[in-house]
Amino acid sequence: MHLAELNIGRLVAPTDDPRVAEFMGALDRVNGLGKRMPGFVWMMEGSGEPGTGNTETKIGGDPQFVSNLTVWESVETLEAFVWNTVHRQFYARKQEWFALMGEQHFVMWWVPEGHRPTLAEGLAKLKHRQEHGDSEAAFGWPWLKEAQLYKAHVHHAGAAE
């Protein structure tokens, strides 16, 4: 089995607004790094236009809602990307570019090798987690015993998922 993850957020401004320019300008670099990481399997992508990432994929018709849907070989390989690369610096600054979400906005789940989840599938998993909490069907970092880098990051930074 491989690990799928969906992370959604609502930008504080449209993608072409100066308030989110630094984030938008880093998408290609951060996504490109992710794709080169050991254990990376697949990423849902948009048009491929430079500096857009997957921002063309709208959630609920809202152009400021953006999503990141990826598949990884293991918890450890996803953690290495999230916590041991430049991604961590952007994660730490997310409040500069994203509105505070009133509910969970991140979910992971196991998928068979070769499966490419759809955004609809990921949103259904997110809804399941929101309604039922962490379970084998849909979960966050705390659910995973293997998530050692996450635990260290939360412990030292006082961050929450």
List, for residues 95-118, the tens digit of each pLDDT value.
999 998 877 799 999 999 999 999
Record the tokens describing residue 87, joined without a space.
Answer: 């991604």
Q: Is 67 helix (H, G, I), strand (E, B) or coil?
A: strand
How many angstroms separate the CA atoms of 8 and 69, rounded?
9
Q: Which two tokens stand for residue 131?
A: 């309604």
Residue 135 sits in which domain range?
A: 2-157
pLDDT above 80 (res 156): no
Q: How many other β-carbons are positioned within 10 Å of the β-carbon of residue 157?
A: 11
Mean pLDDT of the region 34-50: 83
> What is the signed CA dihedral for 95, 117, 138, 65, rounded to 10 degrees?
30
| Number of domains into which the chain is organized | 1
- Residues 74 and 147: their CA atoms lie apart, in Å, by 10
CATH code, 116: 3.30.70.100
**161 vs 5: CA distance, rounded Å:** 13
Stretch 125-139: mean pLDDT: 96
- The separation between the first and the last C-alpha atoms of the chain, rounded to the nearest angstrom, is 23
d(CA 26, CA 16): 13
